[in-house]
Each structure stands twice: as structure tokens, then as C-alpha cells.
Amino acid sequence: MAGNRIEIHPAPTLSYAVTPEPSNPPIRRLSDRDIGTYLAYRCKMNELVHLHYLSLHLKEGGCGDKIITITKAQVMETVRTAAMAWFSTMADRSGLNVFDLWVRMYPRYRTRITVFRSAIDSELDKIREFRNKTAFHAEQDFAKYFGPRVLVMENLDEIVAALQKFLKLAVFLLKREHWTDPDLQARMLDAIFDAELKNNCEISRTFFIDAHIVDRKAIFGTRRF
């Protein structure tokens, strides 16, 4: 989008800065599907943060005009378009639908999660249209392709506020992910192993460790590559 209002300050940090264990933590098991969805969500959230840092780098003078005479502002526009689409895919009911997943993972925070979702629902509708017709996909009719961009620009302040609310809740819950399932880390490793078997490939555990998705201690005794 035009201008710099899409940027997030301070930059979110997705590290293992966890809160103390509650005196009565919920003990239950999430479904295998929930574990896989959560793993996918953590990957998408990291990508959203990477897009944010890339936007900051561009603002500070990196890249920009050196790309075949394309201006820095145009490159930032592309990054912001991608960030909007990433946000929509995580939150949208037709995407990862992370709000419903959060309710299952954090029943003690059901009210908080529901209130946050209600607060940004109307903006998510606009971003979903933007994602489907302009960002991730493209309408063949240029007027229909460009229309969602106009709607986003007209509501940019509200959309930025919605993204801020989403990230605030995401960081709050991330610090409490170790409450959600007694074997969360091991089960995420199981999901990675299952993906290897189904896709006949090898997946680097180091990637997930460096991304702060899987705790290094959780893979002790397993192969690392």
C-alpha cells in the first residue's frame, strides 16, 4: 500500500519467551489434525514476520532502486501486498482458520479470542477479497482486479489496527503454547516425520529449530540435518 502505515512497531518476536506454568494447566490431547494445522500456522506466522522485517529493511534504504530502475516504494508495495495476503490466510475461515484452532488449544482464553476475532472480522472480509482477487490470485478483468486494492486503501488505518490486534493476540498465546498439550513438541516432530513419509522427502529439523518453532531440546536423540 502507499505510505508507511502498514508497518508494525515494535517488531514482533516469535521466540521461546514463555510464561510460567499455571497452577492448574489444562491437560488434554489435541487432534493430530490440530497439531498439523498449528505447525503450518507457525510457519506462516514466521513468514509474515519475515515480510515485516523485509519492509523495514526497504524503508531503511536496502534494495529498491537497484532493481531495474524500479523505485523502492514500488518494491515495498509488493511486500505489503504479500503481507496482507499472509495475514488473511492465517485468520480466514477458509484458510488456516487459526482463531478456531486457538479456541481448541486455549479454552481458558475463549472469551479473549472471540472478542479479538469480532473486533477484526469486518476488516478480514476486505482483506480476503484483496487476497482472492488481487494478492494471491488475480482477476482477469482489471477493474475487478484493482477494486479490492481501492477498498483496502480506503480502510487502511482500520486494517493496520486489525493486523496489530492479531499479532498482539498471537504473541500472547505463543508464550503459552506449552500449556496446550502435554506432548506438543514431540507431536509436532511426529507431524514432520509423517510429512516426510507421505512426501518421500527429508525435512530439516534445523530449519524448525532456527525458526523457534521446535525446541532444540525436543529433538535430542533424533537425527538432525
pLDDT digits (tens, 9 = 90+) for 122-152: 898 899 999 999 998 999 999 999 999 999 9
CA 83 – CA 89 distance, rounded (Å): 10
Total domains present in the chain? 1
- The closest of 71, 39, 13 to 218, measured between CA atoms, is 39
Cell numbers for 40, please give them.
503450518
Measured over the CA atoms of residue 79, residue 85, residue 87 and residue 90, the dihedral's sign is: negative
Q: What is the pLDDT of residues 35-57, one digit of tens each?
A: 999 999 999 999 988 888 887 77
Cell numbers for 9, please give them.
512497531
Q: Is there a domain that residue 207 lies in?
A: no
CA 9 – CA 2 distance, rounded (Å): 18
Q: Is there a domain that residue 61 lies in?
A: yes
Contact 149, 130 (CB under 8 A): yes
Q: Is there a domain that residue 15 lies in?
A: no
Q: Is there a domain that residue 225 lies in?
A: no
Q: Which domain holds residue 138?
A: 32-182
The confidence band for 220, taking pLDDT boundaries of 50, 70 and 90, is low
Q: Is the model's pLDDT at 58 over the cut of 90? A: no
SS3 43: helix
Residue 49: exposure state from Cβ atoms within 10 A (0-12, 13-18, ≥19): buried
Q: What is the pLDDT at residue 144?
A: 95
Which amino acid is it at 117?
A: R
Tell me which DSSP letter residue 62 carries: S
- The closest of 81, 169, 73, 45 to 117, measured between CA atoms, is 169
Cell numbers for 48, please give them.
509474515
Q: Is there a domain that residue 223 lies in?
A: no
Q: What is the pLDDT at residue 179?
A: 83
Q: Is there a domain that residue 209 lies in?
A: no
CA 117 – CA 166 distance, rounded (Å): 8
Share of the chain above pLDDT 70, in %: 81
The confidence band for 20, taking pLDDT boundaries of 50, 70 and 90, is low
Predicted model pTM: 0.80
Tell me which DSSP letter residue 134 carries: I
Q: Is there a domain that residue 149 lies in?
A: yes
Q: Is there a domain that residue 224 lies in?
A: no
